[in-house]
Amino acid sequence: DTEVTQTPKHLVMGMTNKKSLKCEQHMGHRAMYWYKQKAKKPPELMFVYSYEKLSINESVPSRFSPECPNSSLLNLHLHALQPEDSALYLCASSPKSISDTQYFGPGTRLTVL
């Protein structure tokens, strides 16, 4: 298995909703990432987990809450989002650390109404 999977593919939510994005990889990778990508822009790093511990938080608002329950799973919990948070949310993983090549999932397209 050489892929990163993400669910759901699409998500529409209101500003008062709570939802979660899920990411899974079975490549034995120990670093996992959340990125946000707006249209026609490169991905922007949000969070990095290394060996299931949060190692980088790029000053992301607290309405985004990451969680790494085990070495294969990464969640992003969403609460009280704003319309400007609408974007493609990408998960990635790399074998050991941020110095390794990253492999991306297909993304979750989020729309906040």
Partner 1 sequence: QKEVEQDPGPLSVPEGAIVSLNCTYSNSAFQYFMWYRQYSRKGPELLMYTYSSGNKEDGRFTAQVDKSSKYISLFIRDSQPSDSATYLCATHTGRRALTFGSGTRLQVQP
Where do contacts with partner 1 occur on this chain (CB under 8 A)? 4, 6, 33, 40-43, 45, 48, 56, 88, 90, 98-99, 101-107, 109
End-to-end CA distance of the chain: 36
| Sequence-ordered list of residues with C-beta below 8 angstroms from that of 81, at least 6 positions apart, any chain | 13, 15, 17, 63, 110, 112
Q: What's the CA gap between 9 and 54, in Å, rounded? A: 25
Minimum CB distance to partner 1, residue 112 (Å):
17
Residue 38 or residue 77: which is nearer to partner 1 going by CB? 38
Q: How far is the CB of 67 from partner 1 (least distance, A)?
A: 19
Specify the residue, 22 or 103, whose C-beta has the smaller distance to partner 1. Answer: 103
